[in-house]
Amino acid sequence: MAGSKKSKERKEQFTTSSGITVKRVYDFSCALTTKTFEQKLGEPGMYPFTRGVQSTLYRGRLWTMRQYAGFGDAKQTNARFRYLLEQGQTGLSTAFDLPTQIGYDCDHPFAQGEVGKVGVSISSLEDMETLFDQIPLDRVSTSMTINAPASVLLAMYIVVGEKQGVSIEKLSGTIQNDILKEYVARGTYIYPPEPSMRLITDIFAFCANHAPNFNTISISGYHIREAGSTAVQEVAFTLANARAYVDAALAAGLAIDDFAPRLSFFFNAHNHFFEEIAKFRAARRIWASLMRDEYQAQNAKSWQLRFHTQTGGSTLTAQQPDNNIVRVTLQALAAVLGGTQSLHTNSRDEALALPTEESARIALRTQQIIAHESGVADTVDPLGGSYFIEALTDDIEQQSLTYMKGIQEMGGAVRAIEQGYMQREIQTAAYETQLKIEHKEDIVVGVNAFTTTSDKEPILHKIDPHLEIEARDRIAQVRSKRDADKVTQALNKLRQAAIGQDNLMPYIISAVREYTTLGEICNVLREVFGEYTPQQF
C-alpha cells in the first residue's frame, strides 16, 4: 500500500482517533473525487458551507469567547460572571449543579453533597435574579447548560428579563436542551424520551413565536466524545440526534424553516489537530445537504450548522497540570481553524477540581492570544484546499454518513438509543482508547511517558461546605414568603396542561413567576410523565 520507497517509519501505521489511515503524504490525487471543488467546498458563507457559515467569518467579528462557569451559589457565580465580563469575555455560559440539572431543589435528599459542586445551584426565581444581578440581559448572550428542566430555566431567564425591563424578543442566548445525548452519554435525564421530546418541541414552538434570538437547542457531540467516542461517531451521533429533533418538530406540526435556523450545535475539540479541523468542516457539509436536499428547507439559515466548541476535558491530565495549557491551545486552535462560532477553553486544573480564578483567566487569555496575536483569524478557512484536510474532510463525511444510514435503518436515533446501540459503540471505542494508553500504543505525556515523580501540588478551587446549608435556608424562606395558593393553582394548571396537549411553556412561566421552585415544577411533570430508567447494557 505504501509507495515504492520503504524507508523506516516510527509506526507500522498512522491512524486518527476514528481509525482513518494517515498517508505519508497527500497530493492532488487524494482530493480528486466525482464532485467538483465548487460542489464540495463552495465559497465561505455559501452552500454547502464547508468553508464556514459566514462569508467574512472572523474578519467580521471574532468568535464569542464563552467560558463555562458556575459554582457554589448564585451570588458567587454572579461575581465570577462579572469578573469574566470585565476580563473581556463576550458571552456568558452557565454551569448548573447536578440537583438543578436533574430537577431537584437544593433541600431534596438526593441533593446532599452535590449542591453548588459542578455548577451553580438554582432552585427558584430568586436564585436566578441573584445570578444575573447587574448583568443587563439585553446586552449579553447567555448559554445555559440545562437539558431535562430546560423549559424551567428558560422560563426563569425570561422572567428575570421582564423584571429588568428587557422584553422577551430581545433576549439572546442558548439552552442546551438536548436530551438524547443525556441518555447516551451525560446522564442528567429525568423523563422518558417521548415526553422529553414534547418538552423540547414545545420550546421550539414557543421561541419561534416569542424569542426569535434564542437558540432553542444546542445539539451536542461534546459529551458523546467525552464519553469516549471517535471523531466520526461524534459527528454521526450528533447529527443523527439532530434529525430526531427535526422529525419530532415536524411531527408536532412546525414548519422546517420556522425552527431550523435556531438549531445550534456543540462539538468537542480533541487532540488530533487535523482530524478535528476536518470534522467541523465535514459536519457543516453533511448538515447543509441534509437540510436542503432531504428536509427541503428553503431558508439558507436552516442549512447552516452553527456551533460552539469546548476543548476536550477528558484529554486533560492530573499529572503535570501545566501541560494542559498547551493541550488546550492546540485544541482551541483546531476549533478556530474549523470555523467555530464560540469557544470555551478548559482550565489546566480541571482534571483535579473546578478551575481557580487564575486558571480560568489563563484559559481565556489563550483564546485572546489566538485571536489577536496569531493572525489565524485574518482569513476564512485558511486550511481549505490543503490536500490532507480535504481528504480527511471527505473521509469523515463518508464514514459519518454510513453510521447515520445505519441509525436510520434502526428507526432513528431514539430507537438506536433505546436499544443501547450508541452507548455500546461509544463504550467499545472508549475501552480501546484505554487499552492503547495502557499498552503505550498511544502516548499521553506525563501519564504513560515522560513522567515525573514530584509534581508540586497546585492550589485548587474549594467549595465552601456551609453553602448547602445556606441554600436550604434560602429556599425555605422563599417558600414561606410566596403566595401558596397561587403556587398551587399554577401547579394544577401545569398538571392539566401536561396531561393534555397544550404547549407547556406559558404554564411554566406562570408558575415560575409565583416563585414555584424548580423541584416542584419538575415533580408535577414527573407525576404525569414518569421517570426514565436506563437499561444496563
Partner 1 sequence: MNRPIRVLVAKPGLDGHDRGALIVAQGLRDAGMEVVYTGLRQTVEQIVHAAIQEDVDCIGLSSLSGAHMALFPAVVNELKKQGVHDILVIGGGVIPPDDVRQLKSLGIAEVFTPGSTITDMAQFIRLHVKEKKWTGDFEPPTKVDHIGIAVNDMKSAIEFYEGLLGFSIVHDEQIEDQQVHAVFIQVGELHIELLESTSDNGPIARYISTKGPGIHHIAYRVTDIEDWLIRARQAEYRLIDEAPRNGGQHKRIAFLHPKGTQGVLTEFCEVIQSDS
First to last CA, the chain: 39
CB of 269 to partner 1, least distance (A): 18
Q: Is 112 in the site for partner 1 (CB under 8 A)?
A: yes
215-244: contacts with partner 1 (CB under 8 A): 226-228
The residue within the footprint of partner 1, chosen from 352, 416, 471, 494 (CB under 8 A), is: 352
The whole-angstrom separation of Cα 512 and Cα 523 is 14
- Nearer Cβ to partner 1, position 229 or 399? 229
Q: Is 117 in the site for partner 1 (CB under 8 A)?
A: yes
What residues pair up with 308 in beta bridges, in sequence order? Answer: 266, 342
Q: At what angle do helices 518-529 and 484-499 cross, to 10 degrees?
A: 30
CB of 333 to partner 1, least distance (A): 23
CB of 437 to partner 1, least distance (A): 8
DSSP reduced 3-state for 534: coil
Contacts of 494 (CB under 8 A, 6+ apart): 504, 507, 508, 510, 511, 521, 524, 525
CB of 282 to partner 1, least distance (A): 24
Stretch that binds partner 1, among 108-116, 193-201, 363-371, 404-412 (CB under 8 A): 108-116
307-326: contacts with partner 1 (CB under 8 A): 314, 316-319
The residue within the footprint of partner 1, chosen from 22, 254, 330, 353 (CB under 8 A), is: 353
Q: Cell numbers for 10, please give them.
A: 516510527
> For strand 68-69 and strand 342-344, is the pairing parallel, antiparallel, or unpaired?
unpaired
Q: Is 445 in the site for partner 1 (CB under 8 A)?
A: no
- Nearer Cβ to partner 1, position 289 or 448? 448
- Nearer Cβ to partner 1, position 386 or 428? 428
CB of 434 to partner 1, least distance (A): 5
Torsion of CA 132, 133, 138, 144, to 10 degrees: 0
Stretch that binds partner 1, among 9-17, 351-359, 469-477, 485-493 (CB under 8 A): 351-359
The whole-angstrom separation of Cα 305 and Cα 64 is 16
Measured in whole angstroms, the distance separating CA 297 from the mean position of its chain's CA atoms is 24
Binding mask 508-537 for partner 1 (x = CB under 8 A): --------------------------x-x-
Measured in whole angstroms, the distance separating CA 401 from the mean position of its chain's CA atoms is 21
The whole-angstrom separation of Cα 89 and Cα 360 is 11
DSSP reduced 3-state for 445: strand
Give the phi and the psi of residue 310 in degrees, each rounded to 5.
-125, 140
- Catalog residues that contact partner 1 under the rule CB under 8 A: 98-99, 101-102, 104, 110-114, 117-118, 182, 186-188, 226-228, 314, 316-319, 350-354, 427, 430-431, 434, 437-438, 444, 446-448, 457, 460, 463, 534, 536
